């Protein structure tokens, strides 16, 4: 299975709201910790190592050139 | 239970040998340097096969300190073949429950339930000196029966000269130096291998910048027989992680992770050690300090384990961090792998190339152990902010979510390696269970009488299950056992069928002297078995 990079989430604005709401009122440290938990939860749900590897590479590409 | 302490010195005291007065260096077919667990297992195995072996050790007994304490099922199976296994299990502490804590809170617990239908438990805890002294006892018993084996304590190898047909060694003794000649030399002389140094051979890898304090204490507390592991332990001065684990004789192994920049001498001050232990156990618990030590983790290996007529085994060849119990256990598997090969080569029954397969197979096992050990160490001691972030996230999630528990890594406990796709491993022409595929160690199973592994006695064996063994006429000149079992008669629990047949109605297995599976078939012609057997002794297909 390939990594889906076309729109796949119903009501994307609603999801984005919920994502920010989950972080509301958290310190930077708490936000980082929440994101780490979220990554692990979603990674386990996906389970497919090829998809996870592609997702990691895609995310990593975004880090190149930023500091 | 036997309460006597392990004899720590003078188990093999120095005694003058006639070799020291010989005009020319005495010749020995095999010399083993180092009487630790690896050297002793190797030497006993060779002697039981009838190949003469001389063990040289610079000490005169096992020495002090518990050191290795966790012996895995595969080690016990090997020891069973050597006649020492029951003794180890009777003395050892059998444990199966492990608990993982993060600070005050228990994150989860696991149970390495003994697998049904295996003679041996997953692990026993036993101080290394006991292991060594039982091996020495078995060697003494073999000697009494006429086995060609000798241990010389107080014999320090100080020089080595590899030659085309033999290896010349210089040995220092209380009576001065002498020289010996060996057709083959096994270097089992430990992590700081002097032989490796004398030959100028590299030992590449990683040193982890961390120090661990071991405190073995004797107490009659009623802690359960479990492995307790803390991340960020809640007691004062315990460092980043801590371990509590029971050994025989009311001794407990306690381990504290102290970090990199420490004053080793100060940390080993008994008062300071006691302060840490008090904080962990509670001030009202009384105990004696039995042994303390500080160590660092290293993961290293030699590029090659065979250098001509010199073969490296155990810590001399490869080093891992202790979490996972992969040090002594993998070294004992080295010895198990090397003994039968050295025996066949020494007898002229197999080509010297068979010894290259030792280096190939145990090199692959070392890589697997180093990989597991490195991953455990990286989890235990996060090296970056991201590593800390994810480790804490894993520990946090693991309290409520089973999926995260499998990510916690306080050491992946030692399992034997499978020699998938390596030179000696033959065809898999049975649609059978993966656990007994070619390259894997044969899995134990209860038979109507005794256990399967007891019937695989250290020679090549054709095992037929609900099948007939064809007439084999073109064998490559090595001893071959034949074992025929039927599920209707020999398999009271169904374990034999489940582990060796799966859905297949019948099977033929070719098993090596070290109990690893060479090949398996639904049905085989004599030529197929003979060809797999030839390949398994490096005689080509």
Report the gap between the CA of A39 and the closest CA in chain B (Å). 9
Closest CA to B169 of B181, B155, B152: B181
B18-93+123-204+301-364: in CATH 3.50.50.60: yes
Which tokens belong to B390?
């994810």
For chain B, the structural domain boundaries read: 18-93+123-204+301-364, 428-536
Average pLDDT rounded to a whole number, residues B295-300 = 88
Per-residue CA distances from B67 to B204, B293, B336, B534 (Å): 23, 9, 21, 41
Report the gap between the CA of A40 and the closest CA in chain B (Å). 8
Q: Do B403 and A33 touch (CB under 8 A)?
A: no
Report the gap between the CA of B323 and the closest CA in chain A (Å). 24
Q: Which residues of B touch A44 (CB under 8 A)?
A: 403-404
**Res B169: pLDDT:** 98
Give the lowest-confidence range in A9-13, B218-222, B272-276. Answer: B218-222
Which of B389, B401, B404 has the highest number of chain A CBs within 10 A, making it the mutation to test binding with A? B389
Per-residue CA distances from A25 to A22, A28, A31 (Å): 9, 10, 9
**A31 pLDDT band (50/70/90 cuts)?**
very high
d(CA B85, CA B454): 11
DSSP string, B18-47: GGGG-SSPEEEEEEEE--SHHHHHHHHHHH
**Res B39: pLDDT:** 98
Please answer whether residues B169 and B31 qualify as being in contact, where contact means their C-beta atoms are separated by less than 8 angstroms: yes
Please answer whether residues B314 and B365 qualify as being in contact, where contact means their C-beta atoms are separated by less than 8 angstroms: no
Residues B134-170: pLDDT tens digits? 999 999 999 999 999 999 999 999 999 999 999 999 9
**Res A65: pLDDT:** 65
User: Measured between CB atoms, does B275 come within 8 Å of chain A?
Assistant: no
Please classify residue B540 by burial: count the beta carbons closer than 10 Å to its beta carbon, then call 0-12 exposed, 13-18 middle and 19+ buried.
exposed
Which tokens belong to B211?
């120090």
Q: Do A33 and B393 touch (CB under 8 A)?
A: yes
d(CA B378, CA B387): 8
Taking CB atoms and an 8 Å cut-off, how many pairs form between chains A and B?
24
Average pLDDT rounded to a whole number, residues B428-440 = 97
d(CA B401, CA B385): 23
Rg of the Cα atoms in chain A: 14
Q: Do A40 and B389 touch (CB under 8 A)?
A: no
Please answer whether residues B153 and B63 qualify as being in contact, where contact means their C-beta atoms are separated by less than 8 angstroms: no
The answer, yes or no, to whether residue B323 has pLDDT greater than 90, is no
Tally Cβ neighbours within 10 Å of residue B449: 9
Q: Do A33 and B396 touch (CB under 8 A)?
A: yes
What is the H or E stretch that residue B395 is in? helix B385-398
Pick from A36, A41, A44: CB nearest B390: A36
Mark out chain A residues that contact chain B at CB-CB < 8 A.
32-33, 36-37, 39-41, 44
Closest CA to B70 of B13, B16, B121: B121
**B378 pLDDT band (50/70/90 cuts)?**
confident
Give the ipTM of the model, two decimals please: 0.94
Pick from B389, B394, B396: CB nearest A32: B389
* Largest interatomic CA distance in chain A: 37
Residues 6+ apart with CB under 8 A from A63: none
Closest CA to B34 of B400, B310, B402, B267: B310
Residues B45-76: pLDDT tens digits? 999 999 999 999 999 998 777 788 999 999 99
- The residue of chain A nearest to residue B385, with distances taken between CA atoms, is A32
Tally Cβ neighbours within 10 Å of residue B282: 10
Q: Which residues of B touch A32 (CB under 8 A)?
A: 389
Q: Do A44 and B404 touch (CB under 8 A)?
A: yes
d(CA B378, CA B209): 11
- The residue of chain A nearest to residue B390, with distances taken between CA atoms, is A36
Matching residue, tokens 């904080």 = B279
Which tokens belong to B491?
């398999």
Report the gap between the CA of A37 and the closest CA in chain B (Å). 5
**Res B9: pLDDT:** 64
Which CATH code is given to the segment(s) B428-536? 3.40.30.120
d(CA B458, CA B329): 19
**Res B3: pLDDT:** 43
Matching residue, tokens 């398996």 = B520
């Amino acid at each position: 299975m390939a990594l889906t990079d076309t729109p796949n989430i119903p009501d994307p604005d609603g999801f984005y709201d919920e994502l920010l709401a989950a972080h509301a009122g958290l310190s930077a440290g708490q936000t980082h910790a929440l994101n780490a938990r979220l990554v692990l939860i979603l990674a386990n749900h996906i389970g497919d190592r090829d998809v996870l590897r592609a997702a990691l590479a895609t995310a990593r590409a975004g880090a190149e050139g930023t500091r | 239970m036997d309460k006597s302490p392990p004899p720590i010195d003078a188990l093999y005291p120095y005694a003058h040998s006639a070799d020291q007065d010989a005009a020319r260096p005495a010749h020995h077919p095999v010399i083993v340097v180092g009487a630790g667990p690896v050297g002793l297992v190797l030497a006993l195995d060779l002697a039981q096969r009838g190949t003469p072996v001389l063990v040289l050790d610079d000490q005169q007994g096992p020495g002090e300190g518990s050191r290795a304490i966790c012996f895995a099922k595969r080690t016990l199976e090997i020891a069973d073949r050597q006649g020492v296994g029951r003794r180890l299990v009777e003395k050892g502490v059998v444990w199966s429950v492990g608990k993982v804590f993060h600070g005050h809170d228990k994150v989860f617990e696991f149970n390495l339930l003994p697998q049904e239908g295996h003679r041996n438990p997953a692990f026993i805890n036993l101080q290394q000196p006991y292991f060594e002294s039982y091996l020495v006892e078995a060697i003494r018993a073999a000697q009494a029966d006429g086995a060609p084996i000798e241990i010389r304590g107080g014999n320090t190898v100080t020089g080595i000269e590899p030659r085309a047909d033999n290896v010349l060694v210089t040995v220092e003794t209380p009576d001065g130096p002498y020289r010996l000649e060996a057709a083959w030399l096994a270097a089992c002389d430990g992590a700081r291998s002097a032989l490796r140094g004398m030959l100028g051979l590299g030992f590449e890898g990683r040193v982890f910048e961390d120090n661990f304090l071991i405190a073995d204490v004797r107490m009659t507390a009623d802690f359960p027989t479990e492995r307790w592991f803390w991340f960020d332990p809640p007691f004062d001065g315990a460092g980043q992680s801590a371990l509590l684990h029971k050994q025989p004789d009311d001794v407990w192994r306690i381990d504290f992770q102290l970090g990199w920049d420490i004053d080793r001498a100060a940390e080993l001050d008994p008062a300071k050690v006691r302060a840490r232990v008090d904080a962990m156990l509670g001030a009202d618990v009384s105990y004696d300090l039995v042994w303390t030590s500080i160590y660092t983790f290293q993961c290293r290996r030699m590029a090659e384990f065979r250098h001509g007529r010199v073969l490296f085994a155990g810590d001399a060849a490869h080093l891992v961090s202790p979490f996972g119990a992969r040090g002594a256990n993998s070294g004992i598997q080295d010895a198990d792998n090397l003994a039968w090969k050295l025996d066949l080569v020494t007898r002229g029954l197999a080509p010297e190339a068979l010894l290259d397969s030792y280096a190939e197979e145990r090199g692959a096992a070392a890589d697997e152990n180093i990989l597991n050990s490195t991953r455990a160490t990286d989890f235990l001691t996060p090296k970056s902010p991201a590593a800390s972030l994810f480790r804490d996230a894993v520990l946090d999630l693991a309290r409520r979510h089973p999926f995260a528990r499998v990510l916690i890594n306080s050491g992946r406990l030692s399992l034997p390696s499978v020699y998938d796709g390596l030179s000696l491993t033959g065809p898999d022409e049975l649609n059978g269970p993966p656990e007994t595929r070619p390259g894997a160690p044969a899995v134990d199973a209860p038979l109507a009488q005794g256990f399967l592994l007891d019937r695989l006695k250290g020679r090549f064996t054709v095992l037929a299950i609900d099948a007939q063994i064809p007439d084999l006429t073109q064998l490559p000149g090595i001893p071959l056992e034949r074992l025929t079992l039927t599920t209707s008669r020999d398999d009271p629990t169904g374990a034999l069928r489940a582990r060796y047949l799966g859905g297949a109605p019948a099977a033929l297995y070719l098993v090596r002297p070290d109990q690893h599976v060479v090949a398996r078939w639904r049905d085989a012609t004599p030529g197929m078995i003979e060809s797999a057997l030839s390949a398994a002794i490096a005689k080509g297909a």
